[in-house]
Amino acid sequence: MSGNGEMMPDHKNRDRRSYILTLSCPNRPGIVAAISHTLFELGGDIAGAQQFDERESRIFFMRVVFSVPADGIARGGLDVALARVAARFSMKWSLRENPRPTRTVIMVSRFDHCLVDLLYRWRIGELAIEPVAIIANHPRQTYAHIDLDGIAFHYLPVTAATRGEQEARIADIVRETDAELVVLARYMQILSDGMSEWLAGRCINIHHSFLPGFKGAKPYHQAFARGVKLIGATAHFVTPDLDEGPIIEQDVERITHADSPDDLIRKGRDIERRVLARAVRYFTECRVIPNGHKTIVFNP
């Protein structure tokens, strides 16, 4: 059982199949009852449910973890039954097998701390991802010290003149690998508006976030020069608006006058690692539901 009372799937139990249902719709009475009744009729057993009614927009959000008998209704039947409920309430919804690793493309530049952290968490089973490709704008020898464990590596250098061609190749890799998620693990190149729109809702970026926000070169040195008391990091969905996509996760750490620029960089990398890892985990566990310029995140 997880911290919020949600029963985790028993990998040894082959008698049931587990799913995660997420949905959003205009709020009105009867939504929870309709979902619960439909799942009951299908032989479903609800292991955990979280819901939120945003009063400002009057939009209702819900995440349900449930299981059905392995020899019961097939996936197609579930989709048909849930589609009927969705039509009644004008729902946006998705259904995902649980657990199932999320096919993930990781993009990286010279700084590799987030890449290394994601691969470590994947190897120990902490992150339910399946890395299907690593894309870098630096050659493979830049990462010679990293065990990529057979993951396909693609060196795709980019210049202003070749950006279109490079992004076309990125899109090919995403399609060829059936990737469900693209993670910019300190990928220090700006995606075009077209690429950002194509990856909408399935591309997560990590960047430093300070008060005030320091942009451009050497942000930690800028922060040091201004005597900041907090540094932080933000993980968000990528949109054409640079670093302004819907926020998934953030964290901060205290800084004192005794901290040097190198201290800020070291602490900043730690924050970036953990914030990105949390955001990826929330995505793979279907805890993130888009809400316009924001997100609803059902934390564990």
Which among 48, 51, 99, 24 is positioned nearest to 281, based on CA atoms? 99
Other beta carbons within 10 Å of 198: 15
CA 14 remoteness from chain centre: 28
Alpha-carbon span 29 to 11, nearest angstrom: 36
> In the annotation, is 243 catalytic?
yes
Alpha-carbon span 19 to 81, nearest angstrom: 14
Alpha-carbon span 236 to 109, nearest angstrom: 18
Which CB contacts under 8 angstroms, 24+ apart, belong to 69-74? 69/15, 69/16, 69/17, 69/43, 70/14, 70/15, 70/16, 70/17, 72/42, 72/43, 73/42, 73/43
CA 238 remoteness from chain centre: 11
Reading phi first (left if > 0) and then psi (alpha if -120 to 50, else beta), residue 178 is in: left
- Please state at what angle helix 261-284 crosses helix 113-123, rounded to 10 degrees: 40
The backbone torsions φ and ψ at residue 103, rounded to the nearest 5 degrees and listed phi first, read: -65, 120
Question: Is residue 207 a contact partner of residue 243, using CB atoms and an 8 Å limit?
Answer: yes
Which among 270, 240, 236 is positioned nearest to 255, based on CA atoms? 270
Q: Exactly one of 45, 243, 263, 270 is catalytic; which is it?
A: 243
Residues designated as active site: 243
